[in-house]
Amino acid sequence: MTSQNEIRDGDSRPLHHAKSEAPEVMYVPRYTGVQRVNHWITAILFTLLTLSGLAMFTPYLFSLTGLFGGGQATRAIHPWFGVALAVSFFFLFVRFWKLNIPNKDDVAWSMKIGDVVTNREDRLPELGKYNAGQKGVFWGQTALIGVMFVTGLMIWNTYFGGLTTIETQRWALLAHSLAAVIAIAIIVVHIYAGIWVRGTGRAMVRGTVTGGWAYRHHRKWFRQIAGSKERRGSVDKRGS
């Protein structure tokens, strides 16, 4: 009979007893509960914004307004979804911006993108908690959500219509739409990458990854976590 272990606070503790002779699996904390809730609230708001925005973007998708109670209701609630998303993403930004600062490892990783897509992990440099692609998603969404928030206010006629000219609003609407299309494309890639890299989804569902996943994809970060085991009490409980 074997048991699974989990590293938390620099200590290893048993999770539960397995019924069979299954190999021992070590789990590494990657995200706290608060971070996951923040992430999923942001994801849900982004989805609602996408659906309501696409409903107003083209007549072919106008039927999506039925999800929000009709055309007028969709037009009224879409900006509020945007405000809520900006607030939720702000907290994500505060939590993760330091970990997403680019470094020389990102340059080395990007130069081996061919090995990345062909899963030749042994040829890649050791990485911290995030790779260059993940950092690109983070900073890309930061810039695009910022653009959408500002331009969204400029075209929110209910409250700010009198503050800008019609011509300014037209340019703002164009920028708002382009930013939204790019942001949606980035999220599609983000979701695909999360499915493509087996074991990634567990991090945002259960908050942990296996030791094997951490060693294979973010070895430098894993070494930091493992090293903290030797310094009990020094592990960042926020999973950073």
Instruction: Show which residues are catalytic.
Output: 190
Cβ 90 vs Cβ 41: under 8 Å: no
**Burial letters for 6-34: b for 16+ Cβ neighbours within 10 Å, e otherwise?**
bbbebeeeeeeeeeeeeeeebbbbbbbee
d(CA 179, CA 100): 21
d(CA 85, CA 121): 35
Alpha helices, DSSP H, located in 155-230? 157-160, 166-196, 200-205, 211-217, 219-228
CB count in 10 Å sphere of residue 56: 16
Query: What is the full DSSP assignment across 115-131?
Result: HHHTT-GGGSPP--SS-
